[in-house]
Chains A and B, each alone.
Chain A
C-alpha cells in the first residue's frame, strides 16, 4: 500500500558539511539565503522560497567517510547568466558551460563541501501553456 495520503511535504533538504561556519557563509552570504531564526548554531537552516536547506554537520551522520550530495538542488533565478556572473565574481567556480536543454538553462556548480547545486530557469512553457 503506497503512503499516498501520508507524504505531506519536504521539511528540509540536508546539505552535508565538514565546516558549518564556511557553509553558513556560503549559503547565507554568497547565495544570500535567509537564515531561519528558529534554527540553532548546531543545526542551521536557510530558507529559499518553498523549502528549507539544513546544514548537516558530518559528525552527526555517524559515518567516517564524508559524502557530499550528488543530486543537484535546482535554484531558480530570474537570469542564469547574470546570476552565474555574480557568483563567479564572488569566487564560485562553475565546472562547465551553461546548458541549454531546449526548455531551460542549467548551470551546475558546487558548494565548498562539494554538494551539487545548479542555477536553473525554465524559459519554455509546458505543453498546457503554463509556466512553472
Chain B
C-alpha cells in the first residue's frame, strides 16, 4: 500500500458552528474556501484540519486524546498567553522536554491539542 499524504486530520465536534469559530477565529486558521459548511476544513500550514461530525462516517463522538495534534508556533509562551486571554484553559504548566516546549489545551469539545516548538536541532544538525 502506498500512502501518499495525509489529506486531513478529523476533529470531532459536538457543535459544528462552535468548532468552526474556534478553529477559524480563536486559533486563526484559514478556512478552506472550497470546503462546505457541513464539513469545514481549516489549513494549518502543511495539513488540513477537518471538522467532521462523527455520525457522518459511522462513528460516535469521543474527544481526541491529550495533545493529539501538535501545532507549531514560534514561541509557546507567547501563543499560550494570547490563547489564555481568549479564555482557553491549559492543562498544567508548559513542559520543556529538553528538546521542545509543549503546552496542552483543549478545544470547546474537549479535543486535545498542543502548542509545540522544538528549539533543539536533531542529531544530524538539522532543525525541523
B1 and A32 contacting across the interface, CB-CB below 8 Å: yes
6 A-B pairs within 8 Å (CB atoms) are namely A10-B46, A11-B71, A50-B6, A70-B54, A83-B3, A96-B58
Chain B residue nearest to A126 (CB atoms) is: B34
Within 2-58 of B, Cβ neighbours of A (below 8 Å) are at 2-12, 25-29, 34, 44-47, 49-50, 52, 54, 57-58
Q: CB of B118 within 8 A of chain A? A: yes
Residues of chain A within 8 A of B122, CB atoms compared: 38
A51 and B1 contacting across the interface, CB-CB below 8 Å: no
**Which residue, of B1, B28, B44, B128, has the highest number of chain A Cβ atoms within 10 A?**
B1
What CA separation (Å) do A108 and B58 show in the bound complex? 9
A7 and B72 contacting across the interface, CB-CB below 8 Å: yes
Residues of chain A within 8 A of B63, CB atoms compared: 70
A80-111 vs B: 1/0 string, CB under 8 Å?
00010011000000011001000000101000
A54-81 vs B: 1/0 string, CB under 8 Å?
1010000101000111111111111000
Residues of chain B within 8 A of A48, CB atoms compared: 3-6
Residues of chain A within 8 A of B28, CB atoms compared: 2-7
Taking Cβ atoms with an 8 Å cutoff, the residues of A that contact B are 1-14, 16, 31-33, 37-38, 48-51, 54, 56, 61, 63, 67-78, 83, 86-87, 95-96, 99, 106, 108, 116, 118, 120, 122, 126-128, 130, 132
- Whether A71 touches B10, Cβ cut-off 8 Å, given contacts A11-B116, A99-B57, is yes
B68 and A14 contacting across the interface, CB-CB below 8 Å: yes
A38 and B124 contacting across the interface, CB-CB below 8 Å: yes
Interface SS, A side: loop
Chain A residue nearest to B25 (CB atoms) is: A2
Residues of chain A within 8 A of B57, CB atoms compared: 72, 99, 106, 108, 118
B88-122 vs A: 1/0 string, CB under 8 Å?
00000000000000000000000100101010001
Given contacts A6-B73, A70-B12, A74-B9, 12 further A-B contacts (CB under 8 A): A1-B82, A3-B82, A9-B47, A10-B72, A11-B70, A50-B5, A69-B65, A70-B59, A72-B10, A72-B52, A77-B4, A126-B34
What CA separation (Å) do A122 and B54 show in the bound complex? 19
* Other-chain contact of B44, A9, A72, A116 (Cβ < 8 Å): A9
